[in-house]
Amino acid sequence: MENFDKHIYVDADSCPVKNEVIRVAEKLDIPVVFVSSYAHELTLPSFVKKVTVDADKEAVDLYIINHIHIGDICVTQDHALASLLLAKGVFALSPKGYEFKEEMIQQLLDYRFFSQKVRRMGGRTKGPKAFTKADRQNFTYSLEKIIKNSRNIKENSEKI
């Protein structure tokens, strides 16, 4: 699986779209790396690289940040990780298929901070909406689109 020089990294500890990532990676022949703490046992196909890190709170994030490259794709629910990856020129995609963009990340981080502040003061905030079949389909569509667009950009730049 090395026809495409970019990789998909998955923040795998609580990722609900592992199977979708595997299917897309196999279909589009792109290398994929699942990163999880040793507290989460993963059973993955042989073509998938599995990296296990300490159970420290940010160990998975730190591994991804230190190993990912410009143009790679990261699947994560973590807004803070996504903001750091965007600064590195990485595509960051949520499991619901939302592509994190530079122009919206600050608003997401502000909302996250506000919600944490409310909870620390004893208040309640809404949790995430239930994960649906439509979310899975949207994720698959978005992931395939990012990969195909990246390949087209690479092919067009090689022609110049």
- Could you tell me the residue ranges of all domains in the chain? 8-159
Digit-coded pLDDT (tens) for 136-147 = 999 999 999 999
Residue written as token pair 């299917």: 23
Nearest residue to 27 (alpha-carbon basis) of 3, 9, 62: 3
- pLDDT at 150 (0 to 100): 83
Alpha carbon of 152 to those of 10, 51, 94: distances in Å? 23, 29, 22
Three-state DSSP class for 148?
helix
**pLDDT value at position 1?**
42
pLDDT value, residue 121: 78
**Cut 0.75: pTM above it:** yes
Predicted confidence (pLDDT) at residue 151 exceeds the cutoff of 90: no
CATH number assigned to the domain covering 8-159: 3.40.50
